[in-house]
């Protein structure tokens, strides 16, 4: 099966150049100006030809933070792996990294197999981080099996959600240490869960029950404290760490300070946090305010500028959505108590276009930097490069053809996402995907999806250093990310 993209400008993280891109059997086979492939055996009358003149040919987006059909806060996210990955393709995202989240005391492996089954209907490629929500020797053993046999190289820790999936310091220290031993990357949702819990009780006791209580119970210090704690724990254990959804100046400062001191710390920012501010929680319509309830919450406007600077300076490396959708009837569970509103918002379909519009069109990011923060850096950090994250011969043919001049108005009425609200509702964007190619197949073209249920593949991600017969050799071996373990 072959496909030819003609006449576009290839934009990679490191360079841009005019070239045709020829894809065969799911891989990029040739790149060059005016390719003559018509005499190749792979070029048949079924070969699709896409005219990309005047357009950009970029690596498909990687969203490293999604939650399809997540069971959470007494309900299940409305977007499943089929509809969610399809919506991603419509927005140029060709790969997601979702989260397996075991219930406390549930075996990590059992949860992993459950999520694999749910994800079987995906239409784009996907991988999994696995959350560590409790601790004993069996959890350590499951982490090892997940790394060695199932291609999981990152583990998630929720420092929030007390009484549910929260990881306390004991879990963090044990799990970070085990991750290091396995050559896997610990990631954290940085919010102090005890503070959140106590502030929620206090605010409810003051009679504030509506969605405006949500950001009040999660002020920036809540995130700043947890971010710094996770980073310092990682420093003490000499392990790298990745912070998901950095949303405050306080957390960004901790990331920046640690990076300036040579610590291997990575930071992710959500498209929503870059574009939306906390005023949404004051909307008099409960449905609108509740639709924006997510954690960490949307922040004061000045935080957005700081996050953009974080992205521009390279202190934040990846952009994600935390796509976790709940419809109005689900959000209604918190009508009389904001702490019961299921936390989560969508965005996978719009991440790339809102980032292009607010990032590239404004001059904050170059097109190459755009590729870096929407795809390449995630591929590097989570060890999928160069199969993903670049247009190169031999790489997966996951490609978005981008029309930088085309415009659209984002709306829940027209989006593919399976949720009744769009946090970017009414936003007009310039720069949108015209075509998306997944595994060398055209799956989206000018507003039309052509996806196949189950076509997505589970992507195994190897650890960052050879797993080994272990601790004895720890000091001799090359550590992951070249961190000086003895220093």
CB of 69 to ligand URP, least distance (A): 12
28 neighbors 94 (Cβ within 8 angstroms): no
- Residue 306 touches which of ligand URP, Zn ion, none (CB < 5 to 8 A by kind)? none
CB of 36 to Zn ion, least distance (A): 47
- Return the residue nearest ligand URP (CB atom): 343
Q: Please provide residue 176's backbone torsions phi and psi, each rounded to the nearest 5 degrees.
A: -60, -40
User: What is the pattern of x (binds ligand URP, CB under 6 A) and - over residues 422-441?
Assistant: --------------------
Is the bond preceding residue 348 a cis peptide, omega within 30 degrees?
Answer: no
Please give the Cα distance from 210 to 332 (Å, whole number): 11
Token couple for 26: 């799911």
Q: Which of 67, 331, 388, 427 touches ligand URP (CB under 6 A)?
A: 67
- Residue 331 touches which of Zn ion, ligand URP, none (CB < 5 to 8 A by kind)? none
288 neighbors 184 (Cβ within 8 angstroms): no
Q: How does DSSP classify residue 120? A: T
Please give the Cα distance from 215 to 160 (Å, whole number): 14
Q: Please provide residue 137's backbone torsions phi and psi, each rounded to the nearest 5 degrees.
A: -65, -30
SS3 157: strand
- Which of residues 78 and 434 has its CB atom nearest to ligand URP in the complex? 78
89 neighbors 449 (Cβ within 8 angstroms): yes
Give the Cβ contact number of residue 260 at 10 Å: 9
Q: Which of 97, 123, 324, 400 touches ligand URP (CB under 6 A)?
A: 324
- Residue 431 touches which of ligand URP, Zn ion, none (CB < 5 to 8 A by kind)? none
- Residue 343 touches which of ligand URP, Zn ion, none (CB < 5 to 8 A by kind)? ligand URP
- Which of residues 187 and 390 has its CB atom nearest to ligand URP in the complex? 187
**Which residues sit at the interface with Zn ion, rule CB under 5 A?**
189, 322
- Which of residues 47 and 75 has its CB atom nearest to ligand URP in the complex? 75
- Which of residues 108 and 442 has its CB atom nearest to ligand URP in the complex? 108
CB of 188 to ligand URP, least distance (A): 11
User: What is the pattern of x (binds ligand URP, CB under 6 A) and - over residues 273-312?
Assistant: ---------------------xx-----------------
| Residues paired with residue 28 on neighbouring β-strands, in sequence order | 23
- Residue 248 touches which of ligand URP, Zn ion, none (CB < 5 to 8 A by kind)? none
Please give the Cα distance from 450 to 446 (Å, whole number): 11
- Which of residues 65 and 372 has its CB atom nearest to Zn ion in the complex? 65
CB of 189 to ligand URP, least distance (A): 5
332-391: contacts with ligand URP (CB under 6 A): 343-344
Report if residue 322 touches ligand URP, rule: CB under 6 A.
yes
Please give the Cα distance from 17 to 10 (Å, whole number): 5
CB of 197 to ligand URP, least distance (A): 15
Hey, CA dihedral for 482, 11, 391, 243, is it positive or negative? positive
Q: Which of 129, 150, 178, 189 touches ligand URP (CB under 6 A)?
A: 189
Q: Which helix (H) or strand (E) holds 24?
A: strand 16-24
- Which of residues 58 and 294 has its CB atom nearest to Zn ion in the complex? 294
- Residue 200 touches which of Zn ion, ligand URP, none (CB < 5 to 8 A by kind)? none
CB of 269 to Zn ion, least distance (A): 13
CB of 77 to ligand URP, least distance (A): 8
How far are the Cα atoms of 37, 102, 185, 318, 352 from residue 462, in angstroms, in the given order?
34, 21, 11, 20, 27
- Which of residues 249 and 322 has its CB atom nearest to Zn ion in the complex? 322
CB of 161 to ligand URP, least distance (A): 7
Please give the Cα distance from 223 to 248 (Å, whole number): 7
- Which of residues 55 and 217 has its CB atom nearest to ligand URP in the complex? 217
- Which of residues 79 and 396 has its CB atom nearest to Zn ion in the complex? 79
Please give the Cα distance from 442 to 435 (Å, whole number): 7
Please give the Cα distance from 29 to 6 (Å, whole number): 14
Is the bond preceding residue 386 a cis peptide, omega within 30 degrees?
Answer: yes
CB of 38 to ligand URP, least distance (A): 49
- Which of residues 322 and 353 has its CB atom nearest to Zn ion in the complex? 322
Please give the Cα distance from 196 to 160 (Å, whole number): 7
In 101-193, the DSSP E strands lie at 125-131, 154-158, 185-189
Residues binding ligand URP: number (CB under 6 A): 8
| Residues paired with residue 75 on neighbouring β-strands, in sequence order | 72
322 neighbors 191 (Cβ within 8 angstroms): no
Residues at the interface with ligand URP (CB under 6 A): 67, 189, 294-295, 322, 324, 343-344
């Amino acid at each position: 099966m072959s496909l030819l993209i003609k006449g576009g400008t290839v934009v990679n993280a490191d360079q841009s150049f005019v070239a045709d891109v020829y894809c065969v059997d799911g891989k990029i086979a040739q790149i060059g100006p005016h390719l003559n492939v018509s005499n190749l055996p792979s070029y048949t009358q079924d070969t699709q030809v896409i005219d990309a003149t005047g357009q950009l040919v970029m690596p498909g987006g990687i969203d490293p933070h999604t939650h399809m059909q997540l069971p959470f806060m007494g309900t299940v996210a409305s977007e499943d792996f089929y509809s969610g990955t399809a919506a991603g393709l419509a927005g140029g995202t060709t790969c997601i990294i979702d989260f397996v989240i075991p219930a406390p005391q549930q075996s990590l492996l059992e949860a992993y197999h459950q999520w694999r089954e749910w994800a079987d209907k995906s239409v784009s490629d996907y991988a999994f981080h696995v959350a560590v929500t409790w601790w004993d020797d069996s959890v350590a053993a499951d982490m090892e099996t997940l790394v060695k046999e199932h291609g999981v190289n990152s583990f998630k820790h929720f420092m929030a959600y007390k009484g549910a999936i929260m990881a306390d310091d004991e879990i963090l220290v044990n799990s970070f240490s085990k991750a290091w031993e396995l050559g896997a990357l610990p990631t954290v949702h940085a919010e102090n869960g005890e503070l959140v819990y106590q502030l929620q009780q206090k605010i409810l006791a003051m009679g504030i029950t509506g969605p405006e209580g949500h950001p009040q119970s999660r002020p920036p210090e809540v995130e700043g404290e947890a971010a710094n704690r996770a980073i310092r724990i990682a420093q003490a254990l000499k392990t790298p760490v990745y912070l998901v959804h950095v949303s405050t100046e306080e957390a960004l400062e901790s990331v920046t300070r640690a990076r300036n001191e040579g610590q291997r710390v990575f930071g992710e920012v959500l498209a929503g946090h870059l574009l939306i501010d906390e005023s949404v929680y004051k909307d008099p319509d409960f449905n609108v305010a509740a639709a924006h309830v997510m954690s960490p919450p949307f922040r004061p406007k000045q935080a957005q500028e700081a996050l953009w600077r974080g992205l521009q300076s390279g202190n934040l490396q990846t952009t994600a959505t935390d796509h976790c959708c709940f419809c109005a009837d689900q959000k209604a569970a918190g009508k009389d108590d904001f702490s019961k509103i299921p936390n989560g918002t969508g965005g996978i379909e719009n991440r790339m276009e809102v980032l292009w519009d607010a990032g590239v069109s404004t001059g904050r990011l170059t097109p190459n930097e755009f590729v870096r923060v929407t795809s390449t850096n995630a591929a590097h950090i989570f060890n999928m490069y160069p199969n993903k994250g670049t247009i190169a011969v031999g790489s997966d043919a996951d490609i978005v053809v981008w029309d930088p001049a085309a415009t659209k108005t984002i709306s829940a009425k027209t989006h593919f996402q399976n949720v009744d609200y769009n946090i970017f509702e009414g936003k007009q964007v310039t720069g949108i995907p015209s075509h998306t190619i997944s595994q060398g197949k055209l799956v989206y073209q000018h507003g039309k999806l052509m996806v196949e249920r189950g076509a997505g593949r589970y992507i195994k991600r190897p650890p960052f250093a050879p797993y080994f017969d272990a601790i004895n050799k720890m000091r001799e071996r090359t550590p992951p990310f070249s961190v000086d373990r003895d220093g």
